[in-house]
Structure 1
Amino acid sequence: MESIPEVLASNQGQATFAELRSTTSRRGLSSAVQSGAIERLTRGLYTLPAPPTDKQVALAYDGVVSHLSAAVAWGLPVCATPAKPHITVPRKRRPKQGPPAVMHWAPIASEDFEARVTSVLRTVLDCARSLPFDEALAVADGALNKGLMLEADFTKAADAMRGPGRPNARRVAAAVHGGAASFLESMLRALLLTEQIDGFEPQLEVETGSSLLRVDLGHQVARIALEAEGFAFHGSSSDFAADCRRYDELVAAGWLVLRFAFWHVLAEPAWVAGMIRAVLLQRLGVQSDRK
């Protein structure tokens, strides 16, 4: 006869008491929990001793993984993985005890219940409703870039939304761009939009004479390239050398290159905006809309 941990292991790490009845008694199950051999996730549901996955937490509440946690599940770009999973349960569902979670109450589609995670479109809408504009834009950009949703579907759904968060969702839908290549690039573009700095195009192709280069955000008239530099930007010495060559070719072609790190964009947005305005004034001789 299999032991309780063996039954759980063969059942993807979780099982109900009914599924464990053939292996042990109620007293035996209680002893296994007390000894630490297994853990009680919620009433009638047991797991192996390990932090529960987001889907296990959703199962414990009979809900679905949603919002920022669903964005992580779909591989969409986020600022940070949430400390506690976001779980949505049907409206009017009475609160119940369970693992730590950020709870939401809203209607849930049957297909989302089956997958135990909200669809990509629903996930992007939830994030657009609840996250700051820049983070929500990064999630939406990522979904388009990966081909996981259509821009027209997102725009239509955002326009049909009602209640809190609708203005932010519509703003995200108006600004979303599938060409954005990274979370930081989307955050930088959101900063430009918020500061009303116009003229920069995502993933602009620049002809340098010897090659065709793509910049994160480019201003064709002012010939300014903005580069969003992530933590793991240079993977090797050859990557570093290639980047140096790329920047040198841009400068030789008459482009001014500004490089902004993660810290600059997230922690020093006023400084970033000031630098961009300064070079625009230098290049075009005109002030941007804000000072």
Structure 2
Amino acid sequence: MQPVDEIVAQLGGWATSAQLRQLVTRSALEQAVSRGDVERVTRGVYAVPDLGPERLTALAYDGVASHLSAAHLWGLPLLNPPPEPHVILPPRRHPRSVRPAVLHWAPVTLDERQNRMTSLLRTVVDCTRILPFGEALALADAALRTGNLSRYELKNATIAMHGPGRPTALRVATAATALAESFLESILRGLLICAGFTEFEPQVVVRDAGGFIGRVDLGHRAARLALEAEGYGYHSSAPAFAADCRRYNNLIAAGWLVLRFTYQQITQEPAWVIDRVRTTLALRTASTTLAPLKSLTTTPADRAA
């Protein structure tokens, strides 16, 4: 007989006792549970352990993984993982106390119930209700970057929203872009927007008379000021470090000033980051030595490069 855990995996990772009774004996099921091959999630429901805590908790409540938990299942970045899974239950459901969870009550679609997680669009919209603006923006940017969600869909969904979190959700949908290339870059852009800096564009391509120089995380064209969000693993080899130094030197030679901020600075010292940007931008915009930017403009083809 085929192992019980393989049968449950083929059924989507979980199954009811009624389904399993048609495929395995009671003794085989009990032995699989005692060995830890499958887990009795709640009365009459069994699952393979590697289904993950989000879906296991959703099954235990007979609900749907949602909000930050669904974001994790979709592979979207989070600054801090939720301490407890988020689960949506049908309206007016009075749940049993089974596992620690953050519970929400709302209708779900048939697909969401079958998958035990909310759709990508709904996940992003729900997260914008409860996350700070910068974290919500980073999550929305990442969702757009997958190509499975459009800015048009996101904006329409937030316009149709009601209740708590709608202002933040609308603001996120307006600012979100698939151009952002990293979570940290999006968090930095969120800080800038909250501080009133709206002229920094993501992934600006810089050229000079000699051709392509590089692409900067966030660029202020008029001031020729570039901001870089530096992850720890970027300079993983000597050639990569040398190439990066060459790129920065070429940017300086082309008249651009580059400010580099680390993960810790962006996430733990946002006031200092904004102060450095504000001070530097004031110096750059007050300068009368900046040459015209005709040779540094970009085209749609540049953005696609």
Q: TM-score, normalised by structure 1?
A: 0.87
Q: Give the Cα separation in 2 of the matches to 1:36 and 1:201.
A: 51
Conserved in 2, the CA contact under 8 Å of 1:201 and 1:217? yes
Change in CA separation of 1:219 and 1:53 when aligned onto 2, cut-off 3 Å: same
Which amino acid in 1 is paired with 2:91?
A: R
- State the partner residue of 1:177: 177
- State the partner residue of 2:290: none
- Answering whether residue 103 of structure 2 is matched by residue 103 of structure 1, we say yes
Q: Give the Cα separation in 1 of the matches to 2:34 and 2:161.
A: 48
Q: Secondary structure at the match of 1:196?
A: coil
Mark the runs of 5 or more structure 1 residues left unpaired by the alignment. Answer: 287-291
Change in CA separation of 1:49 and 1:171 when aligned onto 2, cut-off 3 Å: closer
Q: Secondary structure at the match of 1:265?
A: helix
Larger mean CA deviation between 98-107 and 173-182 belongs to 98-107
Q: Give the Cα separation in 1 of the matches to 2:229 and 2:176.
A: 17
Which amino acid in 1 is paired with 2:198?
A: D
Mark the runs of 5 or more structure 2 residues left unpaired by the alignment. Answer: 288-305
Larger mean CA deviation between 220-229 and 14-23 belongs to 14-23
- State the partner residue of 2:25: 23
Q: Secondary structure at the match of 2:159?
A: helix
Q: Give the Cα separation in 2 of the matches to 1:176 and 1:94.
A: 37
Conserved in 1, the CA contact under 8 Å of 2:219 and 2:226? yes
- State the partner residue of 2:6: 9
Q: Shift in Å at residue 121 of structure 1?
A: 1.0
Q: Shift in Å at residue 193 of structure 1?
A: 0.7
Q: Give the Cα separation in 1 of the matches to 2:178 and 2:36.
A: 48
- State the partner residue of 2:202: 202
Change in CA separation of 1:88 and 1:160 when aligned onto 2, cut-off 3 Å: same
Conserved in 1, the CA contact under 8 Å of 2:14 and 2:47? yes
- State the partner residue of 1:271: 272
Q: Shift in Å at residue 50 of structure 1?
A: 6.3
Q: Shift in Å at residue 38 of structure 1?
A: 5.1
Deviations 1:110-157 (A, max 9, x none): 222222221111111001111111111111111112212111121111
Which amino acid in 2 is paired with 1:221?
A: A
Change in CA separation of 1:33 and 1:116 when aligned onto 2, cut-off 3 Å: closer
RMSD across aligned positions (CA):
2.3
Which amino acid in 1 is paired with 2:117?
A: V
Q: Secondary structure at the match of 1:135?
A: helix
Which amino acid in 1 is paired with 2:100?
A: P
State the identity as a percent. Answer: 51
Q: Shift in Å at residue 98 of structure 1?
A: 2.8
What does 1:140-289 correspond to in 2, within 5 Å?
140-212=140-212, 213-285=214-286
Deviations 1:244-265 (A, max 9, x none): 1111110111111001111111
Larger mean CA deviation between 133-142 and 34-43 belongs to 34-43
Q: Give the Cα separation in 2 of the matches to 1:229 and 1:32.
A: 48
Larger mean CA deviation between 250-259 and 10-19 belongs to 10-19
- State the partner residue of 2:136: 136
Deviations 1:177-232 (A, max 9, x none): 22111111111111001111232111111113434211110011111100011222
Q: Give the Cα separation in 2 of the matches to 1:145 and 1:31.
A: 45
Q: Secondary structure at the match of 2:26?
A: coil
Q: Give the Cα separation in 2 of the matches to 1:99 and 1:135.
A: 27
Conserved in 2, the CA contact under 8 Å of 1:41 and 1:98? no
Q: Secondary structure at the match of 1:221?
A: coil
Change in CA separation of 1:56 and 1:265 when aligned onto 2, cut-off 3 Å: same
Q: Give the Cα separation in 2 of the matches to 1:250 and 1:38.
A: 57
Q: Give the Cα separation in 2 of the matches to 1:151 and 1:16.
A: 39
Q: Shift in Å at residue 175 of structure 1?
A: 1.3
Q: Shift in Å at residue 39 of structure 1?
A: 3.5
Q: Shift in Å at residue 161 of structure 1?
A: 0.7
- State the partner residue of 1:66: 66
Q: TM-score, normalised by structure 2?
A: 0.84
Q: Give the Cα separation in 2 of the matches to 1:238 and 1:104.
A: 50
Q: Shift in Å at residue 63 of structure 1?
A: 1.6
- How many residues end up aligned between the 2 structures? 281
Deviations 1:68-102 (A, max 9, x none): 12112222222133333221111111112333322
- Answering whether residue 38 of structure 2 is matched by residue 46 of structure 1, we say no
